[in-house]
A and B are shown apart, each in its own frame.
Chain A
């Protein structure tokens, strides 16, 4: 016990002071020497720690939708895609459907699908959602087209019954920039050619995504939906399924210069007919998969006329066959 006068019971503190001072000085000197010795390591660990907390993964998502067989902008789209890839960093390229057909324009009702598929293979699409116009080819032609693609065709809300093989899969998993990205496809219920696919069961889109998310639980860091459906419907789905990070839409030919936000979900669409290439630049927290920053741009394309010879020949053949059969019907 130390008393107020500086004396300890049975001990003279004043006598001991010089010894304590010398010991304290020695400890201090050792401490300084240790700090100096370990400073670089401590500094390195501190920098590493800080960088681990603040560093973000960059991801660029390029997207198209509703090209509807328009071949004129493809060269320009291809150049823009190449430029983005050349600028470094992970880049994903997606399409949200209605890309291989347009029966409202006779030429594109009969021609262009093979050319579109070849171009998409060449520029390296990562996945594509099936649109209602792709289904208009009928099951056999669609199966043939899908067998020639080097990327998966996605649709989670049309489920094949029994043993009938579908020309698409519900989702795909892509590893990029150290992240596992789940990509799910959806299709609208509007204008589907149901009688052509009696073996496909259409289910609710939100229910379909929930089913996929349950199946892939814990396997993905980031969720992208390629939905061939309007922005408004995507907003409703994102309300029900809040785990979607990016929702690329189609069908309604809308333009979203800035992403529409619903909860954490960014909803986008790039017009139609290949007029724009959508580019979404993201900074993502690799630990949580949270989007730290998002920058969207719509890059305008140029139209370069392409030779239509084979297309015109095919159109003439179809028109001649229809005219002949109508003539036989009426005469």
Chain B
């Protein structure tokens, strides 16, 4: 367990040090993606997270084009999963629409960008049938709040505080999900 912790902390340190000033607005919850792409072709997005139910997880994504990403996830509950995210509608006015394809099915994601407020919602069509909606507000460049609700078999509350201590180089989040706490760290390389 100690070895695992040391490895995770080392990875985190290397990622934080080599991150460029382009924090991918990383998804806060492992299985709730967002309708945004990593950005310019060649960028690598990453996300390290820990929650009491899933344990540690690592997600790494690569921007194939500015509208197509490939994501690989590994966690203690699911050793390997692959995901392709295509941004179908990119800022048609304030709207983004994207489609995620994975071995579990496909996910339709939407986002409305209303200045300092962002509204996201999505639904997984496949094994889980999960659906969720969140609202995020960013009063300044240092932090943002998220509040939302998800439904699979019952409704549960989502809440998070995301901090950007190094002005967008990376982000650190503390998350609450249906009675369970977690933390995540993410950015782009």
Cβ A110 vs Cβ B121 within 8 A: no
Cβ B23 vs Cβ A103 within 8 A: no
Query: How large, as a class, is the contact surface on chain A?
Result: 35 or more
A317, CB-defined interface residue at 8 Å:
yes
Q: Which of B101-148 contact A (CB under 8 A)?
A: 108, 110, 112-116, 118, 121-123, 131, 133, 136, 138, 140-141, 144
Cβ B116 vs Cβ A318 within 8 A: no
Cβ B123 vs Cβ A329 within 8 A: yes
Contacts A193-B115, A321-B97, A325-B108 given; indicate if A202 touches B92 (C-beta within 8 A).
no
Cβ A103 vs Cβ B91 within 8 A: no
Cβ B23 vs Cβ A198 within 8 A: yes
B66, CB-defined interface residue at 8 Å:
yes
- Residues on A with beta carbons closer than 8 Å to the beta carbon of B110: 321-322, 325-326, 329
* Bound complex: CA A322 to CA B93 (Å): 12
Cβ A191 vs Cβ B93 within 8 A: no
Cβ B131 vs Cβ A138 within 8 A: no
Cβ B94 vs Cβ A109 within 8 A: yes
A219, CB-defined interface residue at 8 Å:
no
Cβ B113 vs Cβ A138 within 8 A: yes
Contacts A161-B167, A164-B22 given; indicate if A321 touches B92 (C-beta within 8 A).
yes
Residue of B nearest to A139 (CB): B39
Contacts A194-B138, A201-B141 given; indicate if A111 touches B116 (C-beta within 8 A).
no
Q: Which of B89, B93, B168 has the most CB of A within 10 A?
A: B93
Cβ A321 vs Cβ B121 within 8 A: no
Other-chain contact of B20, A111, A136, A140, A162 (Cβ < 8 Å): A162
Residue of A nearest to B187 (CB): A198
* Bound complex: CA A195 to CA B121 (Å): 17
A119, CB-defined interface residue at 8 Å:
no
B90, CB-defined interface residue at 8 Å:
yes
The chain B residues found within 8 Å of chain A, CB to CB, are 20-23, 25, 66, 89-95, 97, 108, 110, 112-116, 118, 121-123, 131, 133, 136, 138, 140-141, 144, 164, 167-169, 171
Given contacts A140-B66, A163-B20, A321-B95, 18 further A-B contacts (CB under 8 A): A110-B93, A133-B115, A136-B114, A141-B91, A162-B21, A192-B141, A194-B116, A194-B138, A194-B141, A194-B164, A195-B136, A199-B20, A199-B21, A322-B110, A322-B112, A325-B97, A329-B122, A330-B131
